[in-house]
Amino acid sequence: MAAVIGPDRGRPGPVAHAGGGPGLDAVEPPLRKVGMRDVARLAGVSHQTVSRVLNDLPNVSASTRERVLDAVRVLNYRRNMAARTLVTSRSRTIGLIGFETTLAGPASMIYGIEKAAREAGYYVSIATIRSLERHAVLDAVEQLCAQAVEGIIAIAPKNSVADALTQVPLGTPAVGVGGADDGFVPMLRVDNVRGACLATSHLLELGHGTVHHIPGPADWPEARDRIDGWRQTLHAAGAPVPPIEPGDWSARSGYLRGQRLAADSRVTAVFCGNDHIALGVLRAFHEAGRPVPGRVSVVGFDDTPESGYFLPPLTTIHQDFAELGRRSVDLLVSQLAGSPTPEVGPVHLSPHLVVRASANSAP
């Protein structure tokens, strides 16, 4: 499904006519479809002036601009985007491909991208896909291109999404967010390896002999990177590397695998692939009579809005999703403005450790 979200525009108050006559608020909007000439007639200007105001062109006085916008509000005028595109050759619309999920990370990315696009003066047309398979992404690309979007940003947590972006038509720039580097499409992502290193190092510095890890799905690049960072840190410290069991991103998955770890008295520190997994782990250790952080320390990844209210509050790795959204929009808009496509290679944003109460010195 698709939804179109427009940039913010001010809503000026009513303008009173000279001589104390009724303001524009007193005018009844016509029953037929409102056109630009209706706005011009009510504002007392030419339709060319209305066009200049709506297209944010110069050489319009502030008072005239305010009068036109007030008439637009009173008449509830809705612009014909297809006609505007024909006239200006610009739709001022960015296509955004997301997917159906309850995960906090992708949802926060969508919000950050939409907000940054709105601030940059672009509409956003969102295509939500149910599957991350290549064919579903290609369908979304085709749907967005049919709406004359100027560029496409895709939440790309799996290689199939990044691969599909290579099929975007020539002349339509594309940016991926969160996925692996495919070598063809500019990609922005959090430095998951560094985040895992920070989490693992924190637990080792607290005196734990090693750190167990409960990862996310094996086919997600983010999960693989977090495994790599965890493993590299243990190797560098000369600590044992426990076996891992891939699962999914859910609290249920964390709970089931946490139960198995809780049955092993040697386990004192657990780094979880995300905060949802950590929530399940906290319950598993609580039910096993091994309190966190008294007997076991737990660290998550993502810093979801709820993680500070877990019991105990969760130490985790913070990702700046708003910055990720802003940077992805900046990258796309710079390409729309004619800047050359960046050199191949992903742009990594550094995460940071948020210390709360779920991790403590080794018992």
Sheet containing 297-299, strands listed edge to edge, beginning at the edge strand earlier in sequence: 212-214, 269-272, 297-299
CA distance 209 to 206: 9
Q: Looking at residue 34, what DSSP letter applies?
A: P
How many Cβ atoms from other residues are within 10 Å of residue 155's Cβ? 24
Contact 94, 145 (CB under 8 A): no
Of 219, 198, 176, nearest to 345 by C-alpha is: 176
CA distance 241 to 253: 21
pLDDT digits (tens, 9 = 90+) for 245-266: 889 999 999 999 999 999 999 9
CA distance 113 to 153: 8
Grade residue 192 by pLDDT with cuts at 50, 70 and 90: very high
What's residue 250's pLDDT? Answer: 95
What residue spans of the chain are helical by DSSP H?
Answer: 36-43, 47-54, 62-75, 81-88, 104-119, 134-146, 159-165, 192-205, 221-237, 251-262, 275-287, 321-336
Residues 302-331: what's their mean pLDDT?
93
Taking 90 as the threshold, does the pLDDT of residue 81 lie above it? no
Q: Looking at residue 269, what DSSP letter applies?
A: E
CA distance 342 to 340: 6
CA distance 99 to 186: 20
CA distance 320 to 303: 9
pLDDT digits (tens, 9 = 90+) for 133-169: 888 999 999 999 888 899 999 988 788 888 888 888 8
Q: Looking at residue 169, what DSSP letter applies?
A: P
What's residue 226's pLDDT? Answer: 97
One-letter amino acid for residue 85 of the chain: T
Residue 58's Cα: distance from chain center in Å?
33
Of 71, 149, 109, 103, nearest to 332 by C-alpha is: 149
What's residue 12's pLDDT? Answer: 41
Q: Which residue has the higher pLDDT, 272 or 32?
A: 272
What does the buried/exposed string (b/e) look like for 198-209 if buried means 16 or more CB atoms within 10 Å of the residue's CB? bbbbbbbebebe
What's residue 80's pLDDT? Answer: 57
* Helix 321-336 and helix 104-119, axial crossing angle in degrees, nearest 10: 50
CA distance 304 to 296: 21
- Residue 176: CB partners within 8 Å, gap ≥ 6? 153, 154, 156, 161, 162, 165, 182, 185, 186, 187, 188
Residues 113-128: what's their mean pLDDT?
89
Residues 216-232: what's their mean pLDDT?
94
Rounded percentage of the chain residues whose pLDDT exceeds 90: 49
Q: Which residue has the higher pLDDT, 84 or 246?
A: 246
What's residue 19's pLDDT? Answer: 40
What's residue 146's pLDDT? Answer: 86
pLDDT digits (tens, 9 = 90+) for 19-46: 444 455 545 545 557 777 888 899 999 8
Taking 70 as the threshold, does the pLDDT of residue 318 lie above it? yes
- Residue 309: CB partners within 8 Å, gap ≥ 6? none
Residues 267-289: what's their mean pLDDT?
98
CA distance 298 to 278: 7
CA distance 284 to 260: 9
What is the residue-averaged pLDDT of the chain?
A: 85
What's residue 28's pLDDT? Answer: 53
Highest mean pLDDT of the ranges 35-44, 46-55, 235-244, 341-350: 235-244
Taking 50 as the threshold, does the pLDDT of residue 16 lie above it? no
What's residue 32's pLDDT? Answer: 59
The model's pTM is 0.74
Contact 235, 241 (CB under 8 A): yes
Taking 50 as the threshold, does the pLDDT of residue 267 lie above it? yes
By the 10 Å C-beta count (0-12 exposed, 13-18 middle, 19+ buried), 243 is classed as exposed
What's residue 186's pLDDT? Answer: 86
CA distance 16 to 5: 31
Taking 50 as the threshold, does the pLDDT of residue 92 lie above it? yes
